[in-house]
Structure 1
């Protein structure tokens, strides 16, 4: 299928939030986990989402419309990054929480997890929070081209057990395209 992704709306403050009728799938993850790279890979464009060597580049909710499928990917600010003020981090946290608790068309959250490191407390807290809200979690292990395959398989098993999922988290690489078609299939399932 010939899909396109376009940035439709950028939201920096709670008062800017609005209701959309289209299904939404949010993208969440620690700063520097590769959310922007994933968006760009899916879009087939290198600079749709801004990428930086400094973590924490995404400071807003970015609504990307997937055409012709008709749903939104909503890129949330990265979490766990300390090189900004506590006030700024608190502002992002409140914006994300308000979005997650009020977006009526939120179908699932893709939680991006770095495939090179073991489960982190902050990732465990996010997945636990989402599950307590009854929001489906789609775990995706990013940078899957970096670790040894046995280490990647071990981490997939750990996350499968933690999340009590029936399938392994998807291994994804923005660099090689590994997992891209499978991710499109999963997004399509949830966006219906």
Structure 2
């Protein structure tokens, strides 16, 4: 997809605040510092529409990015960040769960993991949640540029096995630094619209 028009249209925490256009939505889930904002920025060809932060845990709402008047990327708060109060984490947990399990426009969750390391317990918990609610999932293994290309398959296998991935869920290699995987990710998204 060639992206020319994109805007961050709202932050929401309750269903009545969600956009009403009815476009397909793709939620982005991942640990707080795994590179969700970098993924969004690379996919839409912008430097800093999604704010990247040196402080993990910055996103505390569902942020809706409208792309080409055709779909939304929905950035959800990162998980697994210890410096956020327990009550904040619980509140996030509730509205994320409500969004992901009840939103009829949600086509898939894009779960972002770090290719360099086996998925964490939090990554596994998130994936198990998606499987439990039968939510289609696209797993993006990012930071591929930090690993020699010859080792990608080995690292992909570790991700697949650690998450115990369903066979129908794709696992794509990605690098926002080098632009690896952008076309493949768009193909996967467009096939679900």
So what's the TM-score if we normalise by structure 1?
0.91
- For 2:148, the equivalent position in structure 1 comes to 148
Q: Output the CA distance in 2 between the equivalents of 1:43 and 1:150.
A: 28
* C-alpha distance after superposition, 1:49-78 (max 9, x if no partner): 11111211211111111115x111111110
Q: Output the CA distance in 2 between the equivalents of 1:140 and 1:64.
A: 19
Cα deviation for residue 19 of structure 1 reads 5.7
Q: Output the CA distance in 1 between the equivalents of 2:147 and 2:119.
A: 15
Structure 1, unmatched stretches of 5+, are: none
- For 1:117, the equivalent position in structure 2 comes to 117
Q: Superposition pairs for residues 41-80 of structure 1, below 5 Å?
A: 41-68=42-69, 70-80=70-80
- For 1:81, the equivalent position in structure 2 comes to 81
- For 1:183, the equivalent position in structure 2 comes to 185
Are 1:19 and 1:103, in contact at CA under 8 Å, matched by a contact in 2? no
SS at match of 1:163: coil
* C-alpha distance after superposition, 1:64-117 (max 9, x if no partner): 11115x111111110000112111111111111111122111111000001111
Q: Output the CA distance in 1 between the equivalents of 2:175 and 2:132.
A: 29
- For 2:10, the equivalent position in structure 1 comes to 9
- For 1:174, the equivalent position in structure 2 comes to 176
So what's the TM-score if we normalise by structure 2?
0.90
SS at match of 1:90: helix
Q: Output the CA distance in 2 between the equivalents of 1:26 and 1:96.
A: 10
Count residues in correspondence. 189
CA RMSD between the two structures = 1.8
Q: Output the CA distance in 2 between the equivalents of 1:145 and 1:166.
A: 26
Structure 2, unmatched stretches of 5+, are: none
